[in-house]
Amino acid sequence: MITLKNIDIFYGRIHAVKRVSLHVDPGEIVALIGGNGAGKTTLLCAISGLIRPARGEILHKGESIARRSPDKIVRSGLSHVPEGRLVFKPLSVEDNLLLGAYGRFSLKARRQIKNDLAEVYAMFPVLKQRRGQCAGTLSGGEQQMLAIGRALMARPGILLLDEPSMGLAPNITREIFRHIVMLRDRFGLTVLLVEQNAKSALRVADRGYVLETGRIILQGPADELLANKDVQRAYLGRDVDL
């Protein structure tokens, strides 16, 4: 569903991403791991149209999206859950969720949006309990659920998840990763998962890529990367049992 070919991205004179190529096939969970500053978030932002690469191709379902605006990329079936959640804190939980469906609003779509809202509440019951509460008063884990739910309201086929476990307690991290697997297994979503919690990410992923200083240095099935001694030494120090 997503293919990157020889992507180069610069911040001024800084060459942040260097000739990166990767692909995510339908129904896969693919983990993108690496240290701080490796270029993981930059790649997700390029896919979702927030950053334009200097060179290379980004294909979604075989069509180039490298020059599309972010709103058109969302409408094409791709949603991005950003690092740090970035919920609209003064707005209610329900208003945050409804904003996720902004590209779909019409009189004809109102019933479907209402049904989708009910599905998000069924998936994350705590959000239903707090639907009238300001999003900024939620816990970190609840805000992460809200950010995922908001992305789902766009009815995507592929979900870009950036550091969903950041700042969360281990029990909440386990819950978030279980929901990621459920989104693939129950709803058929394709997921590109960026994580510093590499062991947990690889345990739920089908395949993985290791990004270091803007380059892909390793790739392969997730179980092979988990068993790789170099990956273990560099990235697998933290563990959350799933």
| pLDDT tens by residue, 177-221 | 999 999 999 889 999 999 888 888 999 999 999 999 999 999 999
Amino acid at 37: G
pLDDT of residue 237: 59
pLDDT of residue 234: 78
Instruction: Please enumerate in sequence order all residues whose Cβ is within 8 A of that of 174, keeping only pairs 6 or more positions apart, or say none.
Output: 240, 241, 242
Question: Domains plus CATH for the chain?
Answer: 2-235 (3.40.50.300)
Instruction: Please enumerate in sequence order all residues whose Cβ is within 8 A of that of 240, keeping only pairs 6 or more positions apart, or say none.
Output: 165, 170, 173, 174, 177, 197, 199, 200
For the stretch 91-143, pLDDT in tens is: 999 999 999 999 887 777 888 999 999 999 999 999 999 999 999 999 999 99
CA distance 217 to 228: 13
Model-level pTM? 0.91
Contact between 81 and 152 (Cβ < 8 Å):
no
Bridge partners, 215 (sequence order): 212
Other C-beta atoms lying within 10 Å of the C-beta of residue 122? 10
Reported as a pLDDT band with limits 50, 70 and 90, residue 36 is confident
